[in-house]
């Protein structure tokens, strides 16, 4: 009898390579190096005693044995996710602590009021807030670092439930003197050929703010610089490196000399939501209720886009 030492990281790595059909893409998805991922798969194959993948210079595919194992691996991963969710719920119940991530530049206008109201509603609870930059649009949710997060979907995680809290217009952020600043608003067709500032992490969130769904092969996004914070984004625009697409609240809260904001009339509104996994605990439900109340009381007022020279 062969003694096996198969760990959850082996299973998750196996699933990622099987689904991505590429060690490079799977490594990116798991946020590990490709050599480390290859070593993990080798360890798994040594433990099972048979190859799981056919590897060529062009492609990676499952062996027949690997195909049989994939369904069980997916079932195991789902069971483990469910187990971890239950552990998190029990931890919250016992500790009465809530870890809340929030995306930089998201709901900045009413986070102080949310904290005050939550502390009034739950005086014995401990609220931990953590800000995340553009490199993690899920605000710690995907990594399991927080219990819920104030985010701007899409974030590309099907297992995260999102409760919509508010919507706001998308605006173009332009350098002072740009030809489009003479207009009161712009259309997507006006800006799709412009050099643009993008987020550092590939994915659906970055694509949303590059207006990728409105592009075709003849008008790809010309990303000239990647930045992780609102401050860096606006500074790059002010320096004339390119334009960016952002939310209307950025114009109200982060306006600075050298940048101009103009409404994009034909781009769908962006959403602010609270993300969480599985059935919300009582603590998360109370937090969602507080945010809903505050967002209604302090409704995001739509003011004219501004120019600060």
Name the token pair of 263.
């409404």
Give residue-wise pLDDT tens across range 164-202: 999 999 999 999 999 999 999 999 999 999 999 999 999
- Alpha helices, DSSP H, located in 127-203: 188-191
CA distance 286 to 248: 28
CA distance 117 to 122: 8
Going by C-alpha positions, the residue among 293, 290, 208, 299 that lies closest to residue 245 is 208
CA distance 110 to 119: 14
Give residue-wise pLDDT tens across range 195-221: 999 999 999 999 999 999 999 999 999
* Residue 72 DSSP SS3: helix
CA distance 252 to 109: 9
CA distance 26 to 14: 9
Torsion angles phi and psi, residue 14, rounded to 5: -60, -45
CA distance 274 to 300: 16
CA distance 177 to 237: 11
CA distance 108 to 124: 25
Asked whether 96 and 124 are in contact (CB, 8 A), the reply is yes
Per-residue tens of pLDDT for the chain, all 309 residues: 455 688 888 999 999 999 999 999 999 988 889 899 999 999 999 988 899 999 887 789 999 999 999 999 999 989 988 888 888 777 666 668 899 999 998 888 788 999 999 999 998 898 999 999 999 999 999 999 999 999 999 998 989 999 999 999 999 999 999 999 999 999 999 999 999 999 999 999 999 999 999 999 999 999 999 999 999 999 999 999 999 999 999 988 888 899 999 999 999 999 999 999 988 988 999 999 999 998 876 564 444 444 444
Name the token pair of 208.
């949303």
Query: pTM for the whole thing?
Result: 0.67
Beta strand 259-264 with 170-175 is: antiparallel
């Amino acid at each position: 009898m062969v003694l096996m030492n198969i760990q959850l990281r082996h299973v998750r790595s196996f699933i990622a390579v099987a689904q991505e059909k590429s060690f490079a893409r799977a490594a990116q998805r798991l946020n590990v190096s490709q050599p480390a991922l290859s070593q993990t798969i080798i360890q798994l194959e040594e433990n099972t005693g048979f190859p799981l993948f056919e590897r060529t210079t062009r492609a990676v595919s499952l062996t027949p044995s690997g195909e049989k194992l994939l369904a069980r691996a997916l079932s195991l991963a789902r069971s483990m996710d469910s187990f971890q969710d239950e552990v998190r719920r029990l931890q919250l119940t016992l500790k009465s602590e809530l870890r809340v991530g929030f995306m930089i530049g998201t709901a900045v206008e009413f986070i102080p009021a949310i904290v005050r109201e939550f502390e009034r509603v739950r005086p014995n609870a401990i609220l931990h807030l953590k800000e995340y930059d553009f490199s993690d649009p899920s605000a710690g949710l995907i990594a399991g670092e927080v219990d819920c997060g104030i985010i701007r979907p899409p974030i590309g995680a099907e297992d995260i439930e999102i409760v919509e809290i508010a919507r706001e217009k998308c605006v173009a952020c332009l350098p002072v003197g740009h030809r489009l600043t003479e207009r009161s608003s712009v259309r997507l067709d006006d800006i799709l050929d412009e050099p643009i500032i993008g987020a550092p992490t590939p994915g659906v969130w970055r694509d949303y703010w590059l207006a990728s769904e409105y592009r075709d092969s003849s008008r790809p996004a010309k990303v000239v610089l990647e930045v992780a914070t609102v401050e860096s984004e606006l500074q790059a625009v002010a320096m004339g490196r390119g334009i960016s697409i952002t939310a209307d609240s950025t114009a109200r809260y982060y306006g600075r000399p050298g940048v101009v904001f103009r409404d994009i009339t034909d781009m769908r509104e962006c959403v602010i939501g609270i993300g969480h996994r599985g059935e919300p605990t009582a603590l998360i439900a109370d937090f969602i209720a507080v945010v809903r109340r505050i967002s209604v009381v302090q409704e995001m007022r739509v003011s004219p886009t501004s120019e600060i020279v």
